[in-house]
Chain A
Amino acid sequence: MCGIVGLFLKDPKLEPALGALLAGMLFPLSERGPDSTGFAVYGNSRDGHSKLTLRGPVGTDFGALAAQITNRLGDVVPVVRRDTHAVVSVPNGQVNEARKILSTIAPEITIVGTGRRMELYKEVGLPSEVANRFELAGMAGTHAIGHTRMATESAVTIDGAHPYSTAPDQCLVHNGSLSNHNSVRRELIRDGITFSTENDTEVAAGYLTWRLRHGMDLNTALQATLKDLDGFYTFVVGTESGFGVLRDPIACKPAVMVETESYVAFGTEYRALVDLPDVEHGRVFEPEPAKVYFWELRH
């Protein structure tokens, strides 16, 4: 089970509505994944700065935390709080310093994702609850991916929630299960990729990060997964400038896409796409097995 969605806007006029459209895609997939929900939104960026999406225990005073980081970095660190998560913005050169400070002053905080544009939110709960808690409907951006999880291979925890991000502005959602993730994880760890969970999907994200780090483009990296990752998967991948889709050669997991002049959208089921604007005039198609689909921003 599980439900995954992705939305890539071609028409900038739709950008303010990105979050609302994504929320509308996630809700119909509640039955496929009632355990946890997550999404990554590629929104605005600030020159020379990176966003860190933080997750803390309920009641975390993110404002005070940002003030402490500000004190140590000597540069004002803006913070936007959303329920258990908050996004802080730090100069690119100080990301590692900010990580160190956080691990010292607030070890209970998890850095869920970093990037120039990516913000990443995930929580245990139904899509409607999680989307409301994070006020997804108010988020703007160019593209976004999301996931509703029905836990099968590990517990119902935030650690098991998608998307997984293993490098700045890169993240991945997955429908399926990988069978060789332990051996691939061991090899990737040897080559410097770090993992924070035992989850199979995080290995797929780490694998792509590893391939990109070694100079492959996303298209070629996705091709390579067909050879190196064993199991069932439909992946939807987000990068700073694009959005990709890949199904395994057997294509057990369902997938449907629609493309109009204004956007490209992916859903595990067509139900996820029905409320998108003008969807009835879009080209609805099923992505072919073992074929990489990729869209990049032009504007």
Chain B
Amino acid sequence: MTASVNARLFDLERESLRDLNAALHRIGPQATGHWRVLNPKGRHSVAVGLDANVTVEIEGHVGYYCAGMNKSATIIVHGNAGVGVAENMMSGMVHVKGDASQSAGATANGGLLVIDGSAAARCGISLKGADIVVKGSIGHMSAFMAQAGMLAVLGDTGEALGDSIYEARLFVRGKVGSLGSDCVEKKMRDQHRGALHALLKTAGVAGDVDVSDFRRYGSARQLYHFHVDNASAY
């Protein structure tokens, strides 16, 4: 626990979740500061819809959609996160110290999601520009229809990685269960190694892993352009 002397404490056993989110919304985009949330106990929608340059530390496991729609804020979960952590994040940073369930970072537009443990299925599904770093492994159908942004996985992936992917960039250090439709391995050039290194550095793991251990995957671009040979299929 990284307790801050001046942190504002919010105990969810004594105050309601709705009050917490309302208080975090009221402070306004110019606010800074440090909040600590106690006893999340798997509650859903903890610290959602933030738009302020604050740090929120959550001491325990959270339920669904924690840090959803996050803008500017840094949200740290000292525990596991349920379905859809940092869903549709716009900017800022979400750091899960444990594991994350399905659909971590789904549709996220911007910002950085770091998961110290593993993420389950559909990690980064429909990713729209955010970056995700998973220190463990990820489940099946991850980066499905991912449009933009980077996903770096230090461990392995499940099946059908990057199915129907658009222009998101995937980097995997371990084993890929299988590639989804239209997702292919691509050559790792200096520019990719550079981009990956920068991402890993932001996530605080650049010193722990070697970027040349990663493979790069992305779209073969055969699926999302209209192809005249497929005309009869429509």
Q: CB within 8 Å of B: which residues of A?
A: 28, 249-251, 254, 256, 269-274, 280, 284-286, 288-289
Contact = CB atoms under 8 A, between A and B. Distances in A.
Given A254-B102, A256-B101, A270 B42 contact: yes
Contacts of B42: 28, 269-274
B14 to A, nearest CB: 16
B58 interface: no
Given A269-B42, A270-B41, A270-B61, 8 more contacts: A251-B120, A251-B121, A254-B101, A256-B101, A269-B64, A273-B42, A284-B61, A289-B121
A254 B139 CA distance: 14
Contacts of B216: none
A142 to B, nearest CB: 26
Contacts of B121: 250-251, 289
Contact of A284 (B63, B98, B120, B139): B98
B174 interface: no
B78 to A, nearest CB: 11
B60 interface: yes
Given A251-B120, A269-B82, A280 B102 contact: no
Nearest to A255: B101
A256 B41 CA distance: 13
A284 B61 CA distance: 9
A273 B80 CA distance: 13
Return the 7 tightest CB-CB contacts between A and B, nearest first. A270-B42, A271-B42, A274-B41, A286-B120, A270-B61, A284-B80, A251-B121
Given A251-B121, A254-B82, A289-B121, A271 B43 contact: yes
B87 interface: no
A270 B63 contact: yes
Contacts of A280: 60
Q: Which one of B41, B98, B99, B139 has the highest number of Cβ atoms from chain A below 10 Å of its Cβ?
A: B41
B113 interface: no
Given A251-B120, A284-B80, A289-B140, A271 B101 contact: no
Contacts of A284: 61, 80, 98-99
Q: Which one of B42, B80, B82, B101 has the highest number of Cβ atoms from chain A below 10 Å of its Cβ?
A: B42
Contact of B80 (A251, A270, A272, A289): A270
A298 to B, nearest CB: 28
A271 B63 contact: yes
Contacts of A251: 102, 120-121, 139-140
Interface in B105-130: 120-121
B35 to A, nearest CB: 21
28 contacts: A28-B42, A251-B102, A251-B120, A251-B121, A251-B140, A254-B82, A254-B83, A254-B102, A256-B82, A256-B101, A269-B42, A269-B63, A270-B42, A270-B61, A270-B63, A270-B82, A271-B41, A271-B42, A271-B43, A273-B42, A274-B41, A284-B80, A284-B99, A285-B99, A286-B101, A286-B120, A288-B139, A289-B140
Contacts of A256: 82, 101
A288 B140 CA distance: 10
Contacts of A270: 41-42, 61, 63, 80, 82
Contacts of B102: 251, 254
Nearest to A284: B80
Q: Which one of A28, A280, A286, A289 has the highest number of Cβ atoms from chain B below 10 Å of its Cβ?
A: A286
A254 B41 CA distance: 17
A270 B140 CA distance: 21
A291 B43 CA distance: 27
A231 B63 CA distance: 25
A285 B136 CA distance: 13
Nearest to B79: A284
Contacts of A269: 42, 63-64, 82
